Amino acid sequence: MGTRRDFLGKMSLTALSLPILYSPTSLFAACEQPYDGPMLRVAIMGLGSYGTRVAKAMVDCKRAKLVGVISGTPSKILKWQATYDIPQKNCYNYDDFDAIKDNPDIDAVYIITPNALHCEQAIRVAKAGKHVICEKPMAINAEEAERMVNACKDAKVKLLVGYRMHFEPKTVEVIRMRQAGEFGQPKFFQGQSGFVMGNPNQWRLDKELSGGGAMMDIGIYSINGARYMLGEEPIWITAQETKTDPVKFKEGIDETITFQMGFPSGAVASCLSTYAMNHLDRFYMTGEKGWVEMRPSTGYGPIKGRTHKGELLQPHITHQTLQMDGMAQLIFEDVQPLVPVDGEEGLRDMKIIDAIYKAVKTGGKVDL
């Protein structure tokens, strides 16, 4: 999963041709400083609870603005028009949104619909010539994710994925510390991601819409967290599934999966993804020189964390505000976060999810 950072200070002439990285030390500057530059004009597709959260967060953005909506529910469109002063010409439904191609007032579409709809919707948005921001997981499998990546490349538009944690201040500081060698060689990561799923009739428990269960919703946080906390890509996966309520969690909807990942350096990760247990939002990583624990680690905030050097004290800023301002800066200025938020990043996670489901099914180790 915002406001964003200043450019790294004095760049060498050879570095000027490279993408600029956010400076963690000036992560919050965009929140405080006046901004007079291009505004990323965004239409949100999918006006449910998370779309509403993003819209509310964007009110505080300096570089991004909500200007349009796409929904299959006319009453929601009317409500959002009144709440966010959205003109009728920027309102679409799922059948006619291809017409955004002829709307110069929309730069990007943020897709916040059920997982199984992401692929085709993203391809349509790309063909309309608009940048694509897609909520995670970006698709229901790696094959679909790859189609999305290729479609956006062909259309010469950006494909970004809603990794709000890549902009979250304490998370960014931990990544900076790891990159600076302050933990030494990372050795072990533990990720616990879960909560008790309530309403049994929601789309997340419908395989045709969700593509899976807890792994496709909350488990992806431990997958992505392991990668950015350890700074490596896994080379093997093992996984085991536990299901205590087959009525609620039908075939194809995972309730609880524990999974393990191995990395080239020898580091290992042990993770839990579940819809059956509360109070599970914790990351822990230990290295040769130090350690970090974050709890809560991926909730909407405030994130809390401590390392061998003490408590993490970076301020809480609404994640989606930081994310959307950061994506605007990425699109307009090529200012890159420390960990990517592009389609290739999302595709890597989808390949791992595919491997986890394969490992559950086969009972063996899956090489990546």
Question: Active-site residues: which are they?
Answer: 136, 221
**Largest Cα span, the chain:** 62
DSSP assignment of 5-34: PPBPSS--TTGGGSPEEB-GGGTTHHHHS-
Residues 6+ positions from 190 with CB-CB distance below 8 Å = 269, 270, 271, 282, 283, 284, 285
Is the CA virtual torsion 303, 308, 314, 315 positive or negative?
positive
CA angle 107, 113, 114 (to 5 degrees): 150
Q: Say if CB 342 and CB 159 are below 8 A apart.
A: yes
Nearest Cα residue to 237 out of 125, 360, 89, 131: 360
Give the up-direction half-sphere exposure of residue 146: CA atoms within 13 A in the CB hemisphere.
5
